[in-house]
């Protein structure tokens, strides 16, 4: 039986008098205020479209997002002085905890030399070598700035290598917001077409129809439908890009041998297979999902957990394709491979790789404890909650479905219940995104106590929701 509830920076020990605990909890919730966040958001909207430089920082946060002032380890503080245990971790980059002393220390030491020179840097070589210790399945690596940079350039390499302009992606998979990726990220069933052969739908206004005509969309986790599509369009398609574990439409793991089957189909039709490991890389295992499932793509993209919060991404792949860069394929950016990000990523990987990658055993235990704890809450309260997780990534949703296998399954959930309960969790000192499509990415810094306190707060929040409804 769990024996303590952590709220902000305080621990309230349970007593035998349950009514006293309820009163104390009520006092904590009553004192919770985010007035300064509200006022900042009002000011921001007058100067910045939507109030922030990324839609996901404001989307689903009703009536306003929480403004975070700082953090350390798994704790963050908002501008009103509230403390939270962070289960969003900047959507996944913070794998070694906020304000990690070793990473920040290395960056501070380097900053004495300057920050950017527009020239090659020794740390680029050092990071490439460290990267290869983790990702043994890929021959070469090159660095960029964001996940979108990486997926955009990986698609360009694939088209150049195959001489074919079309690419295939999957419903609900997110590969950034460049035009070739912003297709069928959301796909309302009434207009999305057949399940086995979905329509290509723009995720944003402003995407040229000519671009849309080059992107074919398939339903994920369904080899039969993919095979049928490739029989029709396979000779035109140069790349298949996918998240090896879906993590933007809840967490959806691949069916047994599904990735292997996609690999075989790609080979049959002379298509390059790209794994978008922007989320799964350096998180689900030291070698990403491709190591976890034993399937090697031709190219792969990496970002979030590579830099522990410093902006960096990477493209890795087979030598024959990577060496097209500079031999017909253009590549570059002023901030690509900047020294500050290289130093941070190098120190981050050294921490993750210490003691034969011991960090991943801890991360697996933490994720499993969180997933099983949520399942126990569902059983205790007789709630229909579907939980899916792999090391370092987890989602839970309120749904009658026994299993979620693809995007169209993932939208049959109670979005509003999740959102309301997330608001109650905030009041109890736990921070994660109110959109249930978003993942919860535990970090190496999280402890069993962090997880246990999350579970207690979740059970209390669901009970409160049910009393009110």
List pLDDT tens digits, range 234-280. 999 999 999 999 999 999 999 999 999 999 999 999 999 999 999 99
pLDDT of res. 241: 98
177-186 pLDDT per residue, tens: 999 999 999 9
Return the pLDDT at 283: 98
Mean pLDDT of 360-379: 98
pLDDT confidence band for 20 (50 / 70 / 90): very low
Name the band, by pLDDT with cuts 50, 70 and 90, for residue 443.
very high
All structural domains of the chain: 4-87+358-468 (3.90.1150.10), 103-356 (3.40.640.10)
User: Which among 6, 169, 304, 417 is annotated as catalytic?
Assistant: 304
Section 431-453 average pLDDT: 98
State the catalytic residue, choosing from 78, 276, 452, 460. Answer: 276
pLDDT score of 6 more than 60: no
Catalytic one of 84, 174, 321, 431: 174
Predicted TM-score of the model (pTM):
0.93
Mean pLDDT score, 429-449:
98
Mean pLDDT calculated for residue range 319-323: 98
Instruction: With cut-offs at 50, 70 and 90, classify the pLDDT of residue 190.
Output: confident
85-130, pLDDT tens digit by residue?
999 999 999 999 999 999 999 999 999 999 999 999 999 999 999 9
Question: Residue 263's closest CA among 237, 298, 229, 236?
Answer: 298
The pLDDT value given to residue 22: 40
pLDDT value of position 24: 53
pLDDT of residue 17: 36
Q: What is the pLDDT of residues 29-85, one digit of tens each?
A: 778 999 999 999 999 999 999 999 999 999 999 999 999 999 999 999 999 999 999
304 tagged catalytic = yes
Rg (CA), the chain: 23
């Amino acid at each position: 039986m769990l024996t303590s509830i952590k709220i902000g920076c305080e621990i309230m020990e349970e007593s035998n008098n349950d009514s006293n605990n309820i009163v104390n909890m009520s006092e904590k919730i009553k004192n919770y205020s985010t007035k300064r966040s509200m006022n900042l958001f009002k000011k921001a909207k007058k100067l910045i479209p939507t109030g922030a430089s990324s839609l996901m920082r404001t989307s689903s946060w009703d009536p306003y997002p929480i403004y975070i002032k700082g953090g350390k380890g798994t704790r963050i503080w908002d501008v009103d002085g509230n403390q939270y245990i962070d289960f969003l971790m900047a959507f996944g980059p913070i794998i070694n905890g906020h304000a990690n002393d070793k990473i920040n220390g290395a960056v501070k030491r380097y900053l004495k030399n300057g920050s950017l020179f527009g020239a090659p840097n020794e740390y680029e070589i050092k990071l490439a070598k460290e990267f290869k210790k983790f990702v043994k399945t890929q021959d070469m690596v090159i660095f960029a700035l964001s996940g979108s940079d990486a997926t955009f350039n990986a698609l360009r390499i694939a088209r150049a290598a195959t001489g074919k302009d079309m690419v295939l992606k999957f419903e609900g998979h997110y590969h950034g917001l460049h035009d070739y990726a912003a297709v069928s990220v959301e796909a309302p069933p009434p207009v999305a077409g057949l399940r086995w052969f979905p329509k290509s739908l723009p995720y944003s206004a402003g995407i040229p129809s000519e671009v849309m005509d080059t992107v074919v969309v398939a339903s994920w986790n369904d080899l039969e439908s993919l095979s049928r599509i490739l029989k029709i369009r396979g000779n035109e398609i140069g790349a298949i890009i996918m998240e090896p574990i879906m993590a933007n439409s809840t967490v959806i793991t691949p069916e047994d041998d599904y990735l292997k089957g996609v690999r075989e189909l790609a080979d049959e039709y002379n298509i390059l297979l790209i794994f978008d490991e922007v989320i799964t890389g350096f998180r689900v295992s030291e070698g990403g999902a491709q190591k976890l499932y034993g399937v090697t793509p031709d190219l792969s993209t990496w970002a979030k957990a590579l830099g522990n919060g410093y902006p960096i991404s990477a493209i890795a792949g087979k030598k024959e394709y990577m060496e097209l860069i500079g031999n017909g394929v253009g590549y570059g950016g002023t901030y690509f491979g900047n020294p500050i990000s290289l130093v941070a990523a190098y120190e981050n990987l050294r921490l993750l790789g210490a003691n034969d990658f011991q960090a991943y055993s801890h991360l697996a235990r933490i994720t499993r404890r969180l997933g099983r704890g949520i399942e126990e809450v569902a059983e205790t309260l007789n709630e229909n909650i579907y939980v899916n997780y792999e090391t370092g990534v987890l989602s839970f949703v309120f749904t009658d479905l026994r299993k979620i296998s693809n995007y169209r399954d993932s939208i049959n959930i109670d979005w509003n219940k999740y959102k309301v309960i997330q608001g109650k969790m905030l009041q109890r000192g736990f921070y994660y995104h109110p959109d249930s499509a978003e993942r919860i990415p535990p970090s190496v810094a999280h402890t069993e106590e962090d997880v246990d306190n999350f579970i207690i707060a979740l059970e209390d929040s669901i009970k409160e929701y049910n009393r009110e409804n």
